[in-house]
Amino acid sequence: MDVSRHDIVIVGGGAAGLRAAIEAAEKNPSASIALVSKVYPMRSHTVSAEGGAAAIAREDDNVELHGYDTVKGSDFLADQDCIQYFVEQAPKELALLENWGCPFSRNEDGTVATRAFGGMTTKRTWYATDKIGFHMLHALFQHSMRFKNIVRYDEFFVSKLLIEDGSCRGVAALDIRTGEYSTILGRAVILTTGGGGKIFPFTTNGTIKTGDGMALAYRAGVPLKDMEFVQYHPTGLPGTGILITEATRGEGGYLRNSKGERFLVEYDYGVGKKAELGPRDMISRAIVQEIEAGRGFSGAYGDYVHLDLTHLGEDKINTRLPFVRELAKVYIGVDPVTTPIPVRPVVHYMMGGVDTNIHGATEMPGLYAAGETACVSINGANRLGSNSLTECLVFGAAAANHAIDFAKGSSEGNEASLRAQAEEEAGRVENLRGRKKGGERISEIRRELNSIMENACGVYREQSTLQAGVGATAQLRGRVADLRLEDESKVFNTELITALELTNMVEVAEVLAVSAAHRKESRGAHTCKDYTTRNDQDYLYHTMARHDPAGPRLGKKDVVLGKWVPEERKY
């Protein structure tokens, strides 16, 4: 088996992973940085982000405002020290991205333009028409190529963290092209693999979003935090779940029901004057309620409401929202210049993830996490749109900074023993390849998992269905161990990769269901029909889920409060 040594091993090549790689490579030019990803970095799901990235840019904005908006958006579950750091670092990070070539849209004076976004007091979302994720990812990836000390492992699937004396010292990774395992050793490992939206059937997420980093950390004994909080984006295309950005509303678009009403204005959904620019959790709930009140539209792919951009005019749509126009035309046959776009709430983002501190460090020495796969937490119970891309940059850099310092003082570890762990893992996966004795089909388990999660962990939840979800996901955990695989080839065996991903998905889903069932209150995106109010007395804490053979074991972690005192969340 190949054994390679690096100082830092980064798993995941999206915005957080690339930013971490660049930071580590710049901070210590003599360090070797491994960037390991199951896809070529430019395929990472960062690419699909549309609306923009948040950071203070205008005279009428300041740390206090961005901080308060974010805390309030989180329904007071986010850690205020992390938010303070985040909003302070955000402008610097986006300026770096600009310096590295990101083609941000501009004001008339040539400064970077900003647009309005949900739950934000002022215009602080930096954008590149409606393709910020694509441009951010490509700018980061291309900039990363100038650093010769970044060594890429493209299309390598990491299936195990290598741990010695309680410290993380590398990964075991399957080279998808050859089918051979590699031992990739590092003095520190940073997980930046994104979220796991594909555990749900209807999601904006690409097929690669299978919760891999979360499952890797969880199996290694590191707790997952606040996993019950899943963001439903209000506006996905029925059928495919393709994202239609919040920037449509930032640019002045309306949500209308079947009576043609702007229901966020006509009825009281708690968003006040913000109307279409309320936070995502509230608007998704409003859409579901409109549909339940009989004021939605019915279609072949479920009920929906209208996103009306027709009053914006063709010029504005072409200059500000060209990708939205392309997506609507190609994927639902609607030209938003003349016709409202059918939309419904869609699983978009996981607020929860691998528990880290403000530096991106997990409780395991040598293991760090950043981006959607991590939970710092700046998002609490509900993330504000356009904070997540900036989060990837701020905490990707922070994690790399601390990992580089940690690596200086840490030993290399015992190569023979780490290699033995990787060989054991290679043997396990070798047994899975072409495993014809199994009884369960991958596509069937995935379909059942999707259905369980949609029924249990939707926009609205209740104890009866949550408990059913807990039981059903636990049962799937047993069944996913008995998969039947047909493909015996070593070369680019995507069935084998899918099987490994599905195991990760089932594990993450069970944690999500168990965490959600325990929280008997409504906070942010976790909304219970049987516990309709927020309960700070009993639930103002982070949910911590630890791996246990019998199923996730829950604990608590204090929320870091501060100058922003929890209050009723009204807009």
Partner 1 sequence: MADKTIIITRFDPDQDEKPRKQEYRIPCEDHWKVLDAVNFIKDEVDPTVSHRWSCRMAVCGSCGMMVNGEPKLTCKTTLSDYGDRVDIEPLANFPIIRDLVVELDGFMHKFESVKPWIIRAKERAEDKASRHPEKGTFIQSAEELGNYKQFSMCINCMLCYSACPVVANEPDFLGPAAIALGHRYNLDSRDEGTEERHDIFRGEGTVFSCSYANECSEVCPKNVDPAAAINQAKFGAVIDWAKGLVLPRGGTN
Residues at the contact surface with partner 1, assessed by CB under 8 A: 39-40, 42-45, 47-48, 57, 91-92, 95-96, 98-101, 103-106, 108-112, 131, 134-135, 138, 142-143, 145-146, 154, 177, 206-208, 239-240, 242-243, 323, 326-327, 330-331, 442-443, 485-487, 489-495
**Ramachandran area for residue 398 (φ above 0: left; ψ -120 to 50: alpha; else beta):** alpha
Catalytic residue among 249, 320, 359, 523: 249
Q: Which is nearer to partner 1, 392 or 514 (CB)?
A: 392
- The DSSP bridge pattern shows strands 33-37 and 150-154 to be parallel
Min dist CB 124 to partner 1, Å, is 13
* Cβ–Cβ < 8 Å for 183, 422: yes
- Distance in Å from the first CA to the final CA of the chain: 58
Catalytic residue among 45, 138, 233, 295: 233
Q: Which is nearer to partner 1, 92 or 529 (CB)?
A: 92
Q: How far is CA 493 from the centre of its chain?
A: 26
Q: How far apart are CA 214 and CA 220, in angstroms?
A: 10
Q: Which is nearer to partner 1, 80 or 205 (CB)?
A: 205
- Alpha-carbon separation of residue 44 from 94, 226, 563 (angstroms): 19, 24, 37
* Cβ–Cβ < 8 Å for 96, 143: no
Q: Is 249 known to be catalytic?
A: yes
Strand segments (E) across 176-223: 181-185, 188-191
Min dist CB 12 to partner 1, Å, is 14
Residue type, 509: A
Min dist CB 498 to partner 1, Å, is 8
User: Which residues sit opposite 114 in a β-bridge?
Assistant: 126
Q: Is 135 known to be catalytic?
A: no
Query: What phi and psi, each to the nearest 5 degrees, are found at residue 314?
Result: -65, -40
Percent composition of the chain: helix, strand, coil (DSSP 3-state, to 5): 40, 20, 40
Min dist CB 37 to partner 1, Å, is 12
Q: Which is nearer to partner 1, 492 or 571 (CB)?
A: 492
Q: Which two tokens mark 120?
A: 């934000």
Residues in the chain: 571
Q: Which is nearer to partner 1, 80 or 248 (CB)?
A: 248
Helix residue ranges per DSSP H, 457-558: 463-479, 494-518, 536-539
Q: Which is nearer to partner 1, 113 or 220 (CB)?
A: 113
Q: Which is nearer to partner 1, 95 or 474 (CB)?
A: 95
Residues 6+ apart with CB under 8 A from 321: 129, 130, 245, 247, 248, 251, 309, 312, 336
User: Which residues sit opposite 185 in a β-bridge?
Assistant: 5, 170
Min dist CB 278 to partner 1, Å, is 25
Min dist CB 65 to partner 1, Å, is 17
Q: How far apart are CA 385 and CA 233, in angstroms?
A: 9
Query: What phi and psi, each to the nearest 5 degrees, are found at residue 265?
Result: -95, -40
Min dist CB 105 to partner 1, Å, is 7
Q: Which is nearer to partner 1, 92 or 556 (CB)?
A: 92
Query: What phi and psi, each to the nearest 5 degrees, are found at residue 446?
Result: -65, -40
Omega within 30 of 0 (cis) for the link into 74: no
Q: How far apart are CA 372 and CA 155, in angstroms?
A: 20
Q: How far apart are CA 358 and CA 88, in angstroms?
A: 13
Element (H, E) at 54: strand 53-54
Helix (H, G, I), strand (E, B) or coil at 12: coil
Q: Which is nearer to partner 1, 123 or 523 (CB)?
A: 123
Q: Which is nearer to partner 1, 300 or 565 (CB)?
A: 300
Min dist CB 242 to partner 1, Å, is 5
Residues 6+ apart with CB under 8 A from 329: 335
Query: What phi and psi, each to the nearest 5 degrees, are found at residue 420?
Result: -65, -40
Min dist CB 186 to partner 1, Å, is 23
Min dist CB 504 to partner 1, Å, is 16
Annotated catalytic residues are 233, 249
